[in-house]
Amino acid sequence: MSIGLHAYSQTATPYNVVIDEIMADPTPPVALPNSEFVELKNVSAQAFNLNGWRVGDASGFATIGINFMLQPDSFVIICNSSGASLLNAFGTTIAVSNFPSLDNDGDQLYLRSKEGRTIHAVAYTSSWYQNAVKNQGGWTLEMIDTRNPCSGTGNWTASADFKGGTPGKKNSVDAVNADQQPPMLLRAYAADSVDVILSFDEPLDSAGAVITRRYSMSDGIGEPLSAMAIAPFFTKVQLRVAELQKTKIYTVNTNSVTDCAGNPVGAYQQAKLGLAAMAATNDIVINEILFNPKPDGVDYIELYNRSNSVIDLKDCYIANRSNGAVGSLKQVSADNRLLLPGEYIVITEDVLAVQKQYLAKDPGTFEAL
C-alpha cells in the first residue's frame, strides 16, 4: 500500500480495473462487518492512481480524494467512513464520503477514472447470488473470472468463503470462465426521426462500436452518419441516420461488432424498427392467457399487434379490472420496446420459466414484467 506517495500513474482504459466484489446487503452479518462495500481489482500490468476516481450508481457517486496507487493484481476496498475502520482488518481500505447506498435486489454501479472515462460497470440483481439463502443478506457477490469483466449473471455468484466474502484478497469463487458467446442484437427503436438506438444482450467493445461502417440500414438509409456507444454499460449504440419516414419499416444490420471479449456478433445481427405511434383501441389485443401454470411455472399473457402501426410498449400498460375499478397497473416495458405490425410478444414475470416449459422459437419475443 502507498497512500500519499507516487501520485503519478498511467491513464486507465476500460477494464484495466474492475469491480470484482460487492457487499450490497450486509445484514444479517455472517463474519464480516455490517457495512456495504465494493472491492476493486487491478487486472492490468500497470499501476493506477485512484485519486479523483468515482464509484457511483443512479442515485449519486463517491469520489476517492487521496493519492492511492493500485498496483497490478492487487485489491482495494471502497466503503463509507464508518465501515472503513472495521474493514481495514481484511485488506487495504479507502473511506469515501457519499458512498452510494447499494440496493439489495439490484443496482447499476459504475467506476470512472478522474478523466471521466467509464472503466467498468456492473448491473447486478439478487438472482446473481444463485442461492436462495445467501441472497437474504450477509454474503457478497463475487466475480468468477476477472478477465471476463463484461459478462453478467454467468460470471458472478455468491461468495463461498465461510466469512461471507473475501474483501482484500482473491475471490473464493475465482476460476477460468471465459466469454465465448457472440453478442446478440436484441432490438432497435427510433428515438426520433434521425436517431436509432440498438440494444445488445451484453457490453460491446466501446472503441469498435463507434465505427459507422459496421452498421447499415435498409430503404436507402445505408451507413449511419455517426455511431456512439452509450456509457456506462455499452450495451446500447446510438446511430445518427438520414431522416426516417413514418410509414416505413426499416431493417438495421450489424457487421463485425464485437463484445468486450472480442467475440463478433453472430446469427442475431439484424433488427426491424420504425417510427412509433400511440396505440389506438384494439390495435393491440390480448391473444393468449395462461392463468393456471404447470408446477414450477408462471402465468403469462401474449399480446398481438393487429394494426398497421409501430407501437412502443413503453407507452402501454396492463392492469386488473374488477367491478369497473382498475388496479395493479404495470408498464409493459420499462425500456423502449417496439411491437411491429403482425408481431406477438409474451409478457411474464419469469421469462426463463416459460421458455423451459414451452417451445420458444424466438427468445426475443418475451418481456419480463
Which sequence spans correspond to the domains of the chain? 17-158, 185-273, 284-368
The percent of residues in the chain predicted with pLDDT above 70, rounded, is: 98
Q: Using CA atoms, how far apart are residues 131 and 366, in angstroms rounded to an integer?
A: 25
pLDDT at 2 over 60: no
What pLDDT score was predicted for residue 364?
Answer: 78
pLDDT of residue 149: 94
pLDDT at 63: 98
d(CA 106, CA 341): 34
Widest CA span of the chain, in angstroms? 71
Q: Looking at residue 327, what is its pLDDT?
A: 86
pTM for the structure as a whole: 0.86
Name the grid cell of 98.
457519499
Query: Residue 203: pLDDT above 60?
Result: yes
* pLDDT of the residue at 369: 85
Q: Read off the pLDDT of each residue in 59-74 and give the average, rounded to a whole number.
A: 96
Q: Is the pLDDT of residue 323 over 90?
A: no
C-alpha–C-alpha distance, residues 165 and 47, integer Å? 25
Taking 80 as the threshold, does the pLDDT of residue 7 lie above it?
no
Lowest mean pLDDT among 173-187, 228-242, 277-291, 351-365: 351-365
Whole-number pLDDT of residue 51: 97
- Whole-Å CA distances, 194 to 89, 229, 250, 302, 309: 55, 16, 13, 31, 19
How far apart CA 103 and CA 132 sit, in angstroms, is: 17
DSSP H helices, the chain, are: 81-87, 351-357
CATH topology of domain 17-158: Immunoglobulin-like (2.60.40)
CA distance 252 to 195: 12
Cα–Cα distance measured from residue 101 to residue 86, given in angstroms and rounded to the nearest whole number: 18
Q: What pLDDT is attached to residue 359?
A: 87
Q: In which band, very low, low, confident or very high, does the pLDDT at 80 lie, cut at 50, 70 and 90?
A: very high
Cα separation of 81 and 59, whole Å? Answer: 19
Local confidence band at 198 (pLDDT 50, 70, 90 cut-offs): very high
* Structure confidence at residue 352 (pLDDT): 87
**Residue 295 CB-density burial (10 A; 0-12 exposed, 13-18 middle, 19+ buried):** exposed
Over range 361-366, report the average pLDDT. Answer: 82
- Taking CA atoms, 166 is separated from 154, 173, 296, in Å, by 19, 10, 34
- Range from 48-57, 154-163, 213-222, 346-355 carrying the lowest mean pLDDT: 346-355
Task: Kindly indicate whether the domain formed by 185-273 is annotated with CATH number 2.70.98.40.
Answer: no
Is the per-residue pLDDT at 11 higher than 70? yes
| 9 band by pLDDT with thresholds 50, 70 and 90 | low
pLDDT mean across residues, the chain: 94
User: Nearest to residue 37, comparing CAs of 113, 90, 1?
Assistant: 90
The three-class DSSP label of residue 50 is: coil
Those residues with Cβ within 8 angstroms of residue 352's Cβ, 6 or more apart along the chain or in another chain: none
Which is nearest to 143 in space by CA: 164, 128, 131, 133? 128
Per-residue confidence band for 4, with pLDDT thresholds at 50, 70 and 90: very low
pLDDT confidence of residue 363: 76
pLDDT band at 3 (very low <50, low <70, confident <90, very high): very low
Give the pLDDT confidence score for residue 324 in this predicted structure: 83
Of 19-23, 109-113, 116-120, 350-354, the one with minimum mean pLDDT is: 350-354
* Sequence-ordered strand ranges (E) for 129-280: 141-143, 156-158, 185-190, 195-200, 215-217, 226-230, 236-240, 250-254, 270-273
pLDDT band of 218, cuts 50, 70, 90:
very high
pLDDT at 1: 43
Grid-cell match 447499476, residue found: 108
Least confident of 221-230, 246-255, 316-325, 330-339: 316-325
17-158 and 185-273 have identical folds: yes
Q: pLDDT tens, 37-66?
A: 999 999 999 999 999 999 999 889 999 999
